[in-house]
Structure 1
Amino acid sequence: MERDWLTAGWKMLLVRGVIGIVFGILAIAWPVSTAITLALLWGFWALTDGIGALVQAFRPEARGSRVLLVALGVIALVAAFFAITSPGMTATTLTWILGIWLIVRGVFELAGAFSSNHVMPRWLLVLSAALSILLGILFAANPGAGAVGIAVVLGVTALIWGAAFITAGLAVRRAVQQA
């Protein structure tokens, strides 16, 4: 039984690795299309989330939280509408929001670096804060390029994961053949 599981396992690892590499190559080759596709996917997720919140709001057990669930559902549906009808603007907006979040996070990291006792060296916390603030400024200042950059980083990550899955699949295959 174990041999059958490992045999199927190495094949699936190889398939996952090949899919990761293909996705990575496509994301790097067409980063704008990747960013737009991710915005569309987020839009469809927001659509299902909004519908789910509205359905949940009208269930009998949602008495006290009904207004909150309706509000969340409507906000999600509005966000989904904009994401699906204008994915390029959505990708840019999400990158801008990410930039602001990174700046705020960096400021809090910087404040934390100079407060109370830390196990981590202070210089490392300051470096992390500076990187968050710098990346946040870059994203907020040019969100279009930031969205493309995120797509390229996603592509490179997919290439690395794909190679790791292929390597693991071949190692498992080798182990199965030797057993």
Structure 2
Amino acid sequence: MVRDWMTVGWKMLIVRGVIGIVFGVLAIVWPISTAIALALLWGFWALMDGIGSLTQALRPEAKGSRLWLIVLGVIALVAAFFAIFSPAVTAVTLTWILGIWLIVRGVFEAVGAFTTNHVTPRWFLLLGAAFSILLGILFAANPGAGAVGIAVFLGVVALLWGATFLVAGLSMRRLMAAGPEAKV
């Protein structure tokens, strides 16, 4: 029984690895299309979230929170509308918002570096704050390039994950072929 599971296991690792590598290459080769596809996916998620919030608001149990659920549902539906019908603008806008968030986060990290009494070295916390602020400025200053950069980064991560799964699957297959006397 265990041998059958292991056989399926290495095959699925190889399949996952190949899919990851293909996705990674496509995301790197076509980063604009990847950013638009991600914005579309986010738009459909926002659509489902909005419909879910409005549905939940109509339930009898939602007495005190009904107004908030309706407001959240309408906001999600408006965001979904823009994301689905204008995904390029949505990708740029989300990158711009990410940039602002990174800047604010970096400022708070810098302040935290001077107000914390943890053992973590202050220079390490300041370095992290500087990276957050720098990346935030880069995203906010040029959100189009930031969206493309995020897509390329996602592609590189998928490529590395795919390669890892592929190597793990091939290694497991080699161990399975060696028989039970092979050491892990």
- Shorter chain as denominator, the TM-score bin is over 0.9
Letter of the 2:87 partner, please give it: P
Q: Is 1:151–2:147 an aligned residue pair?
A: no
Q: Which runs of 5+ in 2 are unaligned?
A: none
Shift of 1:131: 0.4
Task: Tell me how large the CA RMSD over aligned residues is.
Answer: 0.7
What's 2:141 paired with? 141
- Say which is worse superposed, 59-68 or 138-147, in terms of deviation: 59-68
Instruction: Specify every segment of 5 or more residues in structure 1 that has no aligned partner in the other structure, as ranges.
Output: none
Q: Secondary structure at the match of 1:63?
A: coil
Matched residues in 1 for 2:100 and 2:9: separation?
A: 42
1:173, distance to aligned residue in structure 2 (A): 1.3
Give the Cα separation in 1 of the matches to 2:174 and 2:67.
Answer: 58
* 1:104 aligned residue: 104
Cα distance in 1 for partners of 2:3, 2:71 equals 53
- Whichever residue aligns with residue 15 of structure 1, its letter is V
Q: Displacement, 1:116? A: 2.8
Look up the SS of the partner of 1:37 in the other structure: helix
Equivalent position of 2:23 in the other structure:
23
Inter-partner Cα distance in structure 1 for 2:131 and 2:116: 22
Find the aligned partners of 2:34 and 2:116 in 1 and give their Cα distance: 43
Worse overlay, 119-128 or 99-108: 119-128
Report the Cα distance in structure 2 between the residues aligned to 1:119 and 1:79, rounded to whole angstroms: 43
TM-score by length of 2: 0.96
Give aligned pairs, total: 179
Tell me whether 1:51 sits opposite 2:51 in the alignment.
yes
TM-score (structure 1 length as normaliser): 0.98
Q: Over residues 95-154 of structure 1, what are the superposed CA-to-partner deviations in whole Å (9 max), with x where a residue is unaligned?
A: 000000000000000000001312211100000000000000000000000000000000
Q: Quick one: percent identity of the two aligned structures?
A: 76
Q: State the secondary structure of the residue aligned to 2:115.
A: coil
* Equivalent position amino acid for 1:68 in 2: W
- The superposition leaves residues 48-74 of structure 1 with CA deviations (integer Å, 9 ceiling, x where unpaired) of 010011111111111111111111010
Paired residue for 1:126?
126
